[in-house]
Amino acid sequence: MAGPHDLAPMPPADVAPMPAREVALLSVVAPMYNEQATAVVFYERVASALAEVPFELVLVEDGSTDDTRAILTRIAQADTRVKVVLLSRNFGHQPALTAGLEHARGDVVVMIDADLQDPPELIAQMLEQWRGGVDVVYAVRDLRAGETRAKLWTAHLFYKLFRRMANIDLAAQSGDFRLMDRRPLDVLLAMPERNRFLRGMTVWVGYTQSAVRYERDPRYAGVTKYTPAKMLRFSFDAITSFSQLPLQLATLLGFLIAGFALFVAIPLTVVARYTNQFVPGISSTIVVLLLLGGIQLITVGIIGEYVGRIYDEVKRRPLYVVADRLNLPDAGPSTMDRRLGD
Ligand code: UDP
Ligand code: MG
């Protein structure tokens, strides 16, 4: 009778090293919002950088108000490797990027900005690391040419703050430019949150991760689509989705102030009462009142930021709406289609 002991012994795992992986299809995903001046050059640079690799270019048109849509339609007609997802309005960078990732069919996926600040030529280096077994390769910007001092400073401050508060190790100055293997990507796409800080989420999934360094070029044309207000909101999304420290800060402040009242202010008042050093203190009362009122409003505001995001999550609206698809099957199996289909 055949039992488990009759099976031929398995060769020890370390006899044959894992063969280097080869790409069957590489998906390059880029969101575009009013990028009429860069669209064609971006496509050409990606195509020539990846001449040796079987690739598809998934472009997400995020409700542009300029000629981007017409230009992308023309590119997609000329080259069927270019897939276009046309959103029904402007949904923002992170939702647009998510739309692209959900339509990508490759076994390796690269997310990249379409303004040529991230050089497509770097993808070859990222692929090299992937072949060697790394599942997530992120690009770290050594230098950022052509960006304002204010942007550099706020970005620096943001990464410092985020790294201190969040419980994931996001490399400083790593943007959304990164390569992912299909396995971590599927985990990422299964994460249902609406307030998406994608670069943080790619770190959260784990697997093997490594960095490639590069110098960030200036924008090829056009202006940044991130207004200061959008950047602030983006930073809040990032921190609230990976840290509860701001909420705990409220508790800490409460304890600090209560401790001060209990161990300093109250004993002092008692001493003053019995030594007859009573001074009428209207202004000090007002100062304390204002200070406490301010702290309370701030902490309520912080709680409000979280509550607002919880509300956003429980509504479970789709992240984006697709108006049209070019060179893609009509209803792709995206999260949104699945949800609407239920
Ligand atoms: N983008 C988008 N929707 C938006 C804003 C930006 O699809 O609402 C795209 C934009 O076209 C670009 C990328 O996201 O490809 C990064 O935007 P941008 O270069 O303006 O940001 P920055 O590099 O200045 O932070
Ligand atoms: Mg840019």
| Mean pLDDT computed over 155-160 | 83
44-53, 74-83, 179-188, 327-336: least confident range? 327-336
CA–CA gap between residue 324 and residue 330 (Å, rounded): 8
Q: For a pocket test of ligand 1, which of 43, 86, 115, 219 has the largest count of ligand atoms closer than 8 A to its C-beta? A: 115
Residues 6+ apart with CB under 8 A from 102: 189, 332, 334, 335, 336
3-state class (DSSP) for residue 15: coil
Rg (CA), the chain: 26
Please report the beta strands in 67-173, taking only residues with DSSP state E, as ranges in sequence order.
82-87, 108-111, 136-144
Q: Single out the residue of 236, 232, 241 nearest to residue 204, CA to CA.
A: 241
- CB of residue 113 inside a 6 A radius of ligand 1: yes
**Percent residues over pLDDT 70 in the chain:** 89
* Contact predicate 166/201, CB 8 Å: no
Q: What is the pLDDT of residue 10?
A: 52
Which numbered atom of ligand 1 lies nearest the CA of 96? 7
Q: How far is the CA of 93 from the centre of ligand 1 (A)?
A: 6
Q: What is the pLDDT of residue 4?
A: 47
Task: Identify the band that residue 17 occupies on the pLDDT scale cut at 50, 70 and 90.
Answer: low
Q: What is the pLDDT of residue 341?
A: 41
| Mean pLDDT computed over 212-220 | 79
- CB of residue 62 inside a 6 A radius of ligand 1: yes
Residue 42 has pLDDT above 60, yes or no: yes
Ligand at shortest distance from the CA of 218: 2
Q: What is the mean pLDDT of the chain?
A: 83
- CB of residue 90 inside a 6 A radius of ligand 1: yes
- CB of residue 181 inside a 6 A radius of ligand 1: no
Q: How far is the CA of 265 from the centre of ligand 1 (A)?
A: 52
Q: In degrees to the nearest 10, what's the CA dihedral of 145, 35, 175, 197?
A: 150
Structure tokens at 240: 């609230």
